[in-house]
Chain A
Amino acid sequence: MNAWLSQHRAALASAFRRLWTTPLNTLLSLLVIGIALTLPGFGYVLLDNLRDLGRSASGVQQISLFLQNDASKKDIGDIESRLKQAANAQWRFVPKEEALKRLQTNEGMAEIVASLPRNPLPDAFIIEPANSEPAALEILRQEIAAWPKVAHVQLDSAWVKRFDAFLKLGKLALSMLAGIFAAGLVAVTFNTIRLQVMAQAAEIEVARMIGATDAFIRRPFYYFGALQGAFGGLLAALLVIGALRLLGGPVGDLAALYGGSFGLHSPGAGAILLLTGSGAFLGWLGAQLSVSLSLRKFD
């Protein structure tokens, strides 16, 4: 166990030394990897922010339930009971009188409303379900529509569906982009390691002749690939955070112009760890492929 740990320590130290002793190569490789991971990383954070924007936009996840004009107080009570049972949601009852008053406050509507022989508006419930997924909203809408004394159930599902489809498309495009850049990262590491194996051919040959196992020879290259990828991932996270900080102010100003308040949120520790871990894994994968191919000539 001590020997195993000692060998891993030595391989890790060797990988750090290689990164340190070729600063320009290291910097260029880290920049390539960092930029390759920044684009999907930034896209992911941007989609996450958009998803939050969609969730917070008023009306998006609201269902309006309009009762029939002859609905009694008992019927309203029944609907409330059903809502308690059926929906994990918040709701608010809007009596027809309140709705009419609101209508009257709208510019130019006061005279029209005053001329009406009776209040034409129905009692209504405004429901805000906890689950704002379009499919879940549609199921709830259909269920509510079948309740007695319900005249009409309105869900702005087209908007929600469009927004959801946009997010899904964004996710797919992002996955494709991430796949392409991941392949690029693997290729960069593959080439770096291939050049290293070539430069250390004499050392590898001697090490093999004096009893080095395959694992001993491969280990420093694996550590190098993983470290390079991890540092590249970390750099990508820093670039994403920096870009969000720069964009945060203008986005907030833009939201204020539309009468809202919206701020871009930076990736959390989990996302930074994911980016760093992905970089490390892809770097290790590139090293694994490169070492397996490059070492064949020593067999």
Chain B
Amino acid sequence: MIVANQLSKRYPDGREAIREASFAISAGQMALITGHSGAGKTTLVKLLASIERPSAGSLLVNGQNIAALRRSAIPYLRRNFGLVFQDQKLLGDRNALDNVLLPLQIVGLPRREAIRRARAALDKVGLLSRERAMPIALSGGEQQRLAIARAVVNRPTILLADEPTGNLDAESAGEIRAIFSAFHQVGVTVVVATHDQNWIEHHPHVLRLDHGRLIA
């Protein structure tokens, strides 16, 4: 469960990216965040993932107020999230399997078990046969699927994505949407910042931002 109350974010340069936003996303729900460029979508995702800290208001994730969290507690909170970025942020010098292994190494899973789980995650996104491929050898859609495999390998309760279909062709974007829907259907809370109209038009739960303000 995610609950924001009068949530604001002002950057050091004075720009107010989020203004007094209040919303709730239930556990297991799939919510899309949309708005024009610079509306604050990415900032909201960063606030949810505690990559940025709120300037005012409260943000509760599974009952924990992120705004009041100690710095040392943030890494442990982040392990509850699966993060997918528009630019994937894959490690170019590691193959697909090693990219997916990284979150499991962070939590200290024994290597044999970590490899088993990483392969299962790659299988879920249809990339098991490409486990030895380097990211540069993958297509844009495959890279995004690899990023999703890395995001879900730790079995997070919340999957957060920032423009996951932003750089993809229609077919690949459709595959990515289907993967997110599949995770939603098995009970994962999914929050996606997107301006993909094909996705927004058919989705019942959309948070619309306009210059940092939540308008719907």
| Residues of A near any B CB (own CB < 8 A) | 2-7, 10, 202-203, 205-214, 216
Nearest CB to that of B49 among chain A residues? A209
Q: Are B110 and A211 in contact (CB under 8 A)?
A: no
In addition to A4-B108, A6-B110, A213-B106, 13 A-B residue pairs with Cβ atoms within 8 Å of each other are A5-B108, A6-B108, A6-B111, A202-B91, A207-B102, A209-B83, A210-B102, A210-B151, A210-B154, A211-B77, A211-B106, A214-B72, A216-B75
Q: B132 an interface residue at 8 Å Cβ cutoff?
A: no
Of A5, A205, A213, the residue contacting B75 (CB under 8 A) is A213
**Once the chains are docked, how many angstroms separate the CA of A182 from the CA of B103?**
37
Nearest CB to that of B106 among chain A residues? A212
* Band of interface residues on B: 20 to 34
Q: B150 an interface residue at 8 Å Cβ cutoff?
A: yes
Query: 25 A-B pairs, CB-CB below 8 angstroms?
Result: A2-B110, A3-B107, A3-B108, A3-B109, A6-B109, A6-B110, A6-B111, A202-B92, A205-B89, A206-B89, A206-B91, A208-B75, A209-B49, A209-B51, A209-B89, A210-B78, A210-B106, A210-B150, A210-B151, A211-B77, A211-B78, A213-B72, A213-B106, A214-B72, A216-B75
- A202-B89, A202-B91, A203-B91 in contact; A210/B109 too (CB < 8 A)? no
- Smallest beta-carbon distance B12→chain A, Å: 13
**Once the chains are docked, how many angstroms separate the CA of A5 from the CA of B91?**
25
Nearest CB to that of A215 among chain B residues? B75
Q: Are B79 and A211 in contact (CB under 8 A)?
A: yes
**Once the chains are docked, how many angstroms separate the CA of A216 from the CA of B51?**
18
Q: Are B108 and A7 in contact (CB under 8 A)?
A: yes
Nearest CB to that of B89 among chain A residues? A206
Q: Are B110 and A209 in contact (CB under 8 A)?
A: no
Residues in B whose Cβ lies below 8 Å from that of A214: 72, 75
Q: Are B105 and A7 in contact (CB under 8 A)?
A: yes
Residues in B whose Cβ lies below 8 Å from that of A7: 105, 108
Residues in B whose Cβ lies below 8 Å from that of A207: 102, 106
Residues in A whose Cβ lies below 8 Å from that of B108: 2-7
Residues in A whose Cβ lies below 8 Å from that of B81: 211
Top 7 A-B pairs ranked by shortest CB distance? A3-B108, A211-B79, A211-B78, A7-B108, A6-B108, A213-B75, A212-B106
Residues in B whose Cβ lies below 8 Å from that of A6: 108-111
* Residue of B83, B105, B151 ringed by the most chain A CB atoms within 10 A: B105
**Once the chains are docked, how many angstroms separate the CA of A251 from the CA of B108?**
56
- Smallest beta-carbon distance A213→chain B, Å: 5
- Smallest beta-carbon distance B134→chain A, Å: 14
Within 8 A of A (CB), among B74-122: 75-79, 81, 83, 89, 91-92, 102-103, 105-111
**Once the chains are docked, how many angstroms separate the CA of A46 from the CA of B110?**
49
**Once the chains are docked, how many angstroms separate the CA of A50 from the CA of B155?**
67
**Once the chains are docked, how many angstroms separate the CA of A211 from the CA of B103?**
8
Residues in A whose Cβ lies below 8 Å from that of B92: 202
- Smallest beta-carbon distance B135→chain A, Å: 11
Residues in A whose Cβ lies below 8 Å from that of B78: 209-211
**Once the chains are docked, how many angstroms separate the CA of A214 from the CA of B102?**
15
Q: Are A216 and B106 in contact (CB under 8 A)?
A: yes
Q: Are A212 and B111 in contact (CB under 8 A)?
A: no
Q: Are A211 and B107 in contact (CB under 8 A)?
A: yes
**Once the chains are docked, how many angstroms separate the CA of A232 from the CA of B159?**
47
- Smallest beta-carbon distance A126→chain B, Å: 70
- Smallest beta-carbon distance B137→chain A, Å: 18
Nearest CB to that of B103 among chain A residues? A210
**Once the chains are docked, how many angstroms separate the CA of A212 from the CA of B76?**
8
Nearest CB to that of A4 among chain B residues? B108
**Once the chains are docked, how many angstroms separate the CA of A208 from the CA of B46?**
13
**Once the chains are docked, how many angstroms separate the CA of A216 from the CA of B102?**
11
- Smallest beta-carbon distance B92→chain A, Å: 8
**Once the chains are docked, how many angstroms separate the CA of A208 from the CA of B83?**
11
**Once the chains are docked, how many angstroms separate the CA of A202 from the CA of B109?**
22
- Smallest beta-carbon distance A261→chain B, Å: 59
Nearest CB to that of B108 among chain A residues? A3
**Once the chains are docked, how many angstroms separate the CA of A202 from the CA of B89?**
8
Nearest CB to that of A10 among chain B residues? B105
**Once the chains are docked, how many angstroms separate the CA of A210 from the CA of B150?**
9
**Once the chains are docked, how many angstroms separate the CA of A208 from the CA of B75?**
7
**Once the chains are docked, how many angstroms separate the CA of A58 from the CA of B96?**
74
- Smallest beta-carbon distance B110→chain A, Å: 5
- Smallest beta-carbon distance B119→chain A, Å: 18
